[in-house]
Every structure is written in structure tokens, then in C-alpha cells.
């Protein structure tokens, strides 16, 4: 059955094309606009910018807020912004929307284009509680009224991902320097990450209560471990910037009195 709402998608990059395809699949009347000529996703209609902005819901998925903001006009009814940015950029757009009578939903896509429209995609959103068309893309999760929350969660989760990728690549280079292949090492790495992830909830609780007493592993011993990691990478002729950053950060926490505390106490250095 068709969906009576008209929805437009501004931006037919990798992600915007996947979003437009998912909307058409859900039966929405989909208008698409892109700055340069791009293949039109099946089931969608090409529109001028003016026509696209007149739709019931305007979904934006452009490279940055800087390229997005000049395109928007106060004739927009509902704006579902899926362009990545900082919390302050989202809040500024929310203020613009309020001043111009535009309903504003700020969302972030925790998926790659190939996962859009599947149960692997999760869309975190903040601002308006009405998720409008987001369920066409994945599972919508409302985070709160503050429009900046989605961007905040997005960058926090991506930061975790990038740190993990950095750690994995450093580990691959380290074992690779002795001829160990990724195929041999990676199963141990994924099992290890599963163990490590069980440590996050108690650590999170410690950062909340700020009680860092531990009978598991003191910061002291981890500072020594990070020194060994840095030295081992240097010995194997590898770049040491990543282990050094962690070593310095953990060591600062130790020097500031947390040597006998758990690793969670490092957050006291980060919060400054
Ligand atoms: N790809 C992912 O896996 C993924 C995942 C989550 C979130 N996102 C977010 O989704 C957004 C789009 O990502 P993407 O992967 O689709 O990027 P992309 O393939 O590089 O597409 C970028 C889009 O922005 C448009 N654009 C760039 N500069 C413009 C300008 N000055 N004026 C008008 N339009 C302009 C491009 O138009 P042209 O075609 O004319 O250049 C294109 O439609 C980003 O904010 C990204 O962080 C992406």
C-alpha cells in the first residue's frame, strides 16, 4: 500500500541514495535532489531544490552542515537531518528550525548504506519525539529533547569504534612484525574484545560513583604495561604514537594520585 506523505531526500551520496531507496520501498512518494547529476534511485522522482523543500518531510544527508544550511529555507515543514555534525551544529539548526516554524528531528545513522532498511541499522535521534520516516531506515531510538544528543552519542560511539580500530591495526602490525597473519591473530582478538566488553559496565559504574577502589587491576601495573607496549612497538620498528598517547594519559592519572586505583580513574584526567 502506498504512503500518502511526500518525502524528499537532499543528497544522493552513498548514504542518501540508500535512504531514498528505503523510503520508496516503504511506499512513500519520494522526491530526490542532488547538487550534481547522480543516478536516481528506483521508485523516486527527481525534483528541483524548491520542489524538494516543499515535501511533507525533508530528509537531509549531505557531507556537512556547512553545505546543508545554505540550502534550507523557512518553507520547510519537517526537517529530518541525517547529516553528521557536532552537538552544537545540531543545536544551532534546531534554533533555526524553531525560529522558522520548522519541526526538527536530528538523527544519526549507526549503520553503513548496505544495512539501511534492515534490522542491523539503528537510527539514534533527538529533538522532536516523533520519528516520522526514520523507521524506514532502521530501528529509531529517541535520546531526548536536546537536539544535540544524537550527534553527541554518534561521536562517542564512533570514537569508541575508531579507538578499537586503531588498537586492532596496531596489534596486527605488532604480531605481523613477527610474521603472524591476520587470519591467525583475528579470532583471538575478537574473543578478547568480548572479554574486554564485559569490563565496561563495572567501569562505567565506577566513573559514575567516582569510587575507584579495586581488587582487579591497579592503574600502576597498566602504566607499566603501556610502557612495555610502547617499547615493544619501537623494538619491532613500528610507529609508537598510539601506545604513547595512552601511556602518557594513564601515567598522568598515576602521578595525580590514582596509581592504586582502577583504570576507570583515568576519566578524572579526561574530564579536565
Ligand atoms: N556512508 C556511511 O557509511 C555513513 C554512515 C553514517 C552516517 N553517514 C553520514 O551521511 C552523510 C553523507 O555521507 P555519504 O557517505 O553519503 O557521503 P558522500 O557519498 O560523499 O555524499 C556526500 C553528499 O553531499 C553532497 N554535497 C557535498 N558538498 C555539497 C555542496 N557544497 N552542496 C550541495 N551538496 C553537497 C554531495 O553532492 P555531490 O554528489 O554533488 O557531490 C553528496 O550528495 C555524512 O554526513 C556522513 O557522515 C554516512
Ligand 1 in contact with 167 (CB < 6 A)? Answer: no
Per residue in 11-41, pLDDT (tens digit) is 999 999 999 999 999 999 999 999 999 999 9
- Evaluate: CB of 255 within 6 angstroms of ligand 1: no
User: Ligand 1: distance of its center to the CA of 17 in Å?
Assistant: 10
DSSP 13: S
Cβ–ligand 1 distance for 36 under 6 Å, the answer: yes
- Answer whether 116 contacts ligand 1 (Cβ < 6 A): no
Rounded to whole angstroms, how far apart are CA atoms 124 and 84?
A: 12
User: How many Å lie between the centroid of ligand 1 and the Cα of residue 142?
Assistant: 23
Task: Check pocket membership of 208 for ligand 1, CB cut-off 6 A.
Answer: no
What backbone phi and psi angles, to 5 degrees, belong to 34? Answer: -140, 150
**Coil, strand or helix at 169:** helix
Q: Give me the pLDDT at residue 53, please.
A: 96
Predicted pLDDT at 154? 97
Domains in the chain (CATH in brackets) are 6-146 (3.40.50.720), 153-270 (1.10.1040.10)
Average pLDDT, the chain: 96
- Alpha carbon distances (Å) from 163 to 5, 111, 168, 237: 41, 18, 9, 22
Question: Average pLDDT, stretch 48-67?
Answer: 96
> Is 112 a pocket residue for ligand 1 (Cβ < 6 Å)?
yes
pLDDT at 1 over 60: no
Task: Note the pLDDT of residue 164.
Answer: 98
- Output the CA 12–ligand 1 centroid distance in Å: 7
Using most ligand atoms within 8 A of CB, pick from 63, 70, 71, 84 the residue to mutate for ligand 1. 63
- Asked if residue 160 has pLDDT above 90, the reply is yes
- The answer to whether the CB of 113 is under 6 A from ligand 1 is yes
Which of 10, 15, 36 to probe ligand 1 with, by most ligand atoms within 8 A of CB? 15
C-beta pairs of 236-244 under 8 Å, 24+ apart in sequence: 236/173, 236/174, 236/177, 236/178, 237/177, 238/170, 238/173, 238/174, 238/177, 242/166, 242/167, 242/170, 243/170
Average pLDDT over residues 121-141: 93
Whether the CB of 13 sits within 6 Å of ligand 1: yes
How far apart CA 46 and CA 176 sit, in angstroms, is 50
Ligand 1: does its nearest atom lie under 6 Å from the Cβ of 122?
A: no
What's the mean pLDDT in 68-97?
Answer: 94
Beta pairing class for 122-127 and 103-110 = antiparallel
| pLDDT tens sequence across 231-267 | 999 999 999 999 999 999 999 999 999 999 999 999 9
Percent of the chain whose pLDDT exceeds 90:
93
Element of type H or E holding 204: helix 200-209
Is ligand 1 within 6 A of the CB of residue 72?
A: no
Q: What local confidence, expressed as pLDDT, does residue 197 receive?
A: 97
Average of per-residue pLDDT across 117-142 = 93
Q: Ligand 1 in contact with 35 (CB < 6 A)? A: yes
Q: What is the pLDDT of residue 2?
A: 59
Number of H helices, E strands in the chain: 10, 8
- pLDDT value at residue 3: 73
Residue 90 Cα to ligand 1 midpoint, Å, equals: 17
Q: Using the 8-state DSSP alphabet, how is residue 35 labeled?
A: S
Amino acid at each position: 500500500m502506498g504512503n500518502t506523505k511526500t518525502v524528499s531526500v537532499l543528497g544522493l551520496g552513498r548514504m542518501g541514495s540508500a535512504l531514498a531507496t528505503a523510503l520508496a520501498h516503504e511506499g512513500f512518494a519520494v522526491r530526490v535532489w542532488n547538487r550534481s547529476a547522480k543516478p536516481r534511485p528506483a521508485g523516486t522522482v527527481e525534483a528541483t531544490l524548491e520542489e524538494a523543500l516543499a515535501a511533507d518531510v525533508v530528509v537531509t544527508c549531505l557531507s556537512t552542515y556547512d553545505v546543508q544550511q545554505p540550502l534550507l529555507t523557512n518553507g520547510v515543514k519537517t526537517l529530518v537531518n541525517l547529516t553528521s555534525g557536532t552537538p552544537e551544529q545540531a543545536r544551532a539548526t534546531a534554533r533555526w528550525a524553531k525560529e522558522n516554524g520548522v519541526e526538527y528531528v536530528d538523527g544519526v545513522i549507526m549503520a553503513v548504506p548496505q544495512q539501511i532498511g534492515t534490522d542491523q541499522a539503528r537510527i539514534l535521534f533527538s529533538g522532536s519525539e516523533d520519528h516520522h520516516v526514520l523507521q524506514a531506515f532502521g530501528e529509531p531510538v529517541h535520546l531526548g529533547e536536546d537536539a544535540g544528543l544524537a550527534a553527541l552519542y554518534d561521536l562517542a560511539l564512533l570514537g569508541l569504534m575508531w579507538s578499537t580500530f586503531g588498537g586492532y591495526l596496531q596489534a596486527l602490525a605488532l604480531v605481523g612484525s613477527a610474521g603472524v597473519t591476520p587470519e591467525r591473530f583475528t579470532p583471538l582478538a575478537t574473543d578478547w574484545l568480548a572479554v574486554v566488553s564485559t569490563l565496561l559496565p563495572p567501569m562505567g559504574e565506577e566513573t559514575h560513583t567516582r569510587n575507584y577502589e579495586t581488587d582487579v587491576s591497579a592503574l600502576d601495573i597498566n602504566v607499566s604495561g603501556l610502557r612495555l607496549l610502547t617499547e615493544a612497538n619501537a623494538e619491532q620498528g613500528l610507529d609508537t604514537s598510539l601506545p604513547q598517547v595512552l601511556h602518557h594519559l594513564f601515567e598522568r592519572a598515576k602521578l595525580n594520585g590514582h596509581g592504586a586505583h582502577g583504570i576507570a580513574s583515568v576519566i578524572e584526567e579526561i574530564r579536565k
